Amino acid sequence: MALERRFKEAFAACPVCGGELVEKRVAKLLRGGTDTATIEVDALVCQHCGERLYPEETVRHFERIRAKLRRGETQDMTLVGSSYEAPSD
Protein backbone atom coordinates (compact mmCIF):
# COMPACT_ATOMS: atom_id res chain seq x y z
CA MET A 1 0.00 0.00 0.00
CA ALA A 2 0.98 3.60 -0.34
CA LEU A 3 1.48 4.88 3.22
CA GLU A 4 4.98 6.21 3.86
CA ARG A 5 7.22 4.22 6.16
CA ARG A 6 7.78 7.31 8.38
CA PHE A 7 4.04 7.62 9.00
CA LYS A 8 3.60 3.93 9.82
CA GLU A 9 6.61 3.93 12.14
CA ALA A 10 5.27 6.94 14.06
CA PHE A 11 2.45 4.81 15.49
CA ALA A 12 3.42 1.64 17.34
CA ALA A 13 -0.18 1.19 18.54
CA CYS A 14 -3.56 2.91 18.40
CA PRO A 15 -3.40 6.23 20.28
CA VAL A 16 -7.01 5.73 21.44
CA CYS A 17 -7.02 2.18 22.82
CA GLY A 18 -3.52 0.75 22.29
CA GLY A 19 -4.77 -1.79 19.74
CA GLU A 20 -2.91 -3.11 16.73
CA LEU A 21 -2.84 -0.87 13.65
CA VAL A 22 -2.99 -2.29 10.13
CA GLU A 23 -2.78 -0.50 6.81
CA LYS A 24 -6.01 -0.60 4.84
CA ARG A 25 -7.70 1.08 1.88
CA VAL A 26 -10.79 2.84 3.29
CA ALA A 27 -13.65 4.97 1.99
CA LYS A 28 -13.92 8.40 3.64
CA LEU A 29 -17.13 10.44 3.51
CA LEU A 30 -16.54 14.20 3.31
CA ARG A 31 -19.20 16.87 3.81
CA GLY A 32 -19.09 20.46 2.66
CA GLY A 33 -22.14 22.70 2.69
CA THR A 34 -25.08 20.56 1.63
CA ASP A 35 -22.98 18.21 -0.52
CA THR A 36 -20.97 15.09 0.24
CA ALA A 37 -18.16 13.27 -1.53
CA THR A 38 -16.48 9.94 -0.98
CA ILE A 39 -12.83 9.18 -1.55
CA GLU A 40 -10.79 6.02 -1.13
CA VAL A 41 -7.48 6.49 0.70
CA ASP A 42 -4.91 4.46 2.60
CA ALA A 43 -5.06 4.69 6.40
CA LEU A 44 -3.86 2.94 9.51
CA VAL A 45 -6.90 1.28 11.10
CA CYS A 46 -7.09 -0.06 14.64
CA GLN A 47 -8.11 -3.70 14.73
CA HIS A 48 -9.72 -3.21 18.15
CA CYS A 49 -11.65 0.10 18.13
CA GLY A 50 -11.69 1.00 14.41
CA GLU A 51 -9.90 4.36 14.84
CA ARG A 52 -8.44 5.57 11.54
CA LEU A 53 -5.17 7.47 11.26
CA TYR A 54 -4.43 9.49 8.13
CA PRO A 55 -1.15 11.10 7.03
CA GLU A 56 -1.03 14.90 7.20
CA GLU A 57 -1.12 15.30 3.40
CA THR A 58 -4.25 13.13 3.21
CA VAL A 59 -5.96 15.31 5.84
CA ARG A 60 -5.01 18.43 3.84
CA HIS A 61 -6.53 16.80 0.75
CA PHE A 62 -9.76 16.18 2.72
CA GLU A 63 -9.87 19.88 3.63
CA ARG A 64 -9.39 20.94 -0.02
CA ILE A 65 -12.29 18.68 -1.06
CA ARG A 66 -14.52 20.03 1.74
CA ALA A 67 -13.75 23.60 0.66
CA LYS A 68 -14.63 22.77 -2.96
CA LEU A 69 -17.91 21.24 -1.82
CA ARG A 70 -18.77 24.35 0.22
CA ARG A 71 -18.09 26.55 -2.82
CA GLY A 72 -20.04 24.25 -5.15
CA GLU A 73 -16.93 23.52 -7.22
CA THR A 74 -17.78 19.94 -8.10
CA GLN A 75 -17.05 19.94 -11.84
CA ASP A 76 -14.02 17.65 -11.38
CA MET A 77 -16.06 15.18 -9.27
CA THR A 78 -18.29 12.39 -10.54
CA LEU A 79 -21.99 12.61 -9.69
CA VAL A 80 -22.86 9.23 -8.17
CA GLY A 81 -26.49 9.60 -7.17
CA SER A 82 -28.87 11.64 -5.06
CA SER A 83 -29.40 11.94 -1.36
CA TYR A 84 -32.74 12.53 0.32
CA GLU A 85 -33.85 13.40 3.82
CA ALA A 86 -36.92 11.42 4.85
CA PRO A 87 -39.45 12.86 7.28
CA SER A 88 -39.47 11.37 10.74
CA ASP A 89 -42.63 9.76 12.08
* Domains of the chain with bracketed CATH: 5-71 (3.10.20.860)
Whether residue 89 has pLDDT greater than 80: yes
**CB 43 within 8 Å of CB 52:** yes
Q: What is the pLDDT of residue 35?
A: 92
Q: What is the pLDDT of residue 53?
A: 97
Beta pairing partners, 53 = 44
Q: What is the pLDDT of residue 82?
A: 84
| pTM of the predicted model as reported, rounded to 2 decimal places | 0.85
User: Tell me, what amino acid is at 12?
Assistant: A
pLDDT in tens, 1-45: 678 889 988 998 999 999 999 999 999 999 999 999 999 999 999
